[in-house]
Amino acid sequence: MDLVGLDFDGYAMGGFSVGEPKDIMWEMVDVAVVQLPENKARYLMGLGFPEDIVEGVKKGVDMFDCVIPTRHARNGNLFTRTGRINIKHARHTHDENPVDEECGCYTCGHYSRAYLRHLFITRELNGYYLNTIHNLFFYADLMKSIGKAIEEGEFEQFCSDFTSIWKGGET
């Protein structure tokens, strides 16, 4: 059956990010995206590292969902504009800086890395909540920045800037 002929408001793509190498995943996304109408929402299920979101948007994907921001928060991994930090590491024991100096989330505005580490190490539930607030804010801000760059015709520059700053792994 030709799903595009049914004229849905949008189309979901799934089953791409299930363990295959990323180059194969992106090849399959390329195959799927060109078959979908450009004027309809394109949703890629289960994809969620920041670098993958930026790449997905480059390829024509509009929406994403993933457990990465919340799962990583529960495991002490926090996203920053340059990459991830692991709040469990001892180097954060006395670090009075926020998770990310440029972040506008509640967590960064009120709590230090040292305090978040203490909450995490002692398994205090507020640590999981505050980490999750930060990671969800980071992702929402990333999407907002992408949208703004597209609206202003600056998406290529955004991608270049993102690539030069984002280290992906732990910083």
Decide if 17 is inside a domain: yes
Mark which of 26, 41, 66 sits at the end of a domain. Answer: 66
The yes-or-no verdict on residue 171 having pLDDT over 70 is no
Co-location of 30 and 81 in the same domain: no
The yes-or-no verdict on residue 19 having pLDDT over 80 is no
The yes-or-no verdict on residue 122 having pLDDT over 70 is yes
Please tell me which residue, 38 or 112, carries the higher pLDDT value. 112
16 is in which domain, residue-wise?
10-66
Cut 0.85: pTM above it? yes
| Least confident range of 9-18, 40-49, 147-156 | 9-18
Q: Say how many domains are in the chain.
A: 2
Decide if 161 is inside a domain: no
pLDDT tier for residue 17 given thresholds of 50, 70 and 90: low
Query: Six-digit token pair at 54?
Result: 């930026």
For the chain, what is the mean pLDDT? 92
Co-location of 55 and 24 in the same domain: yes
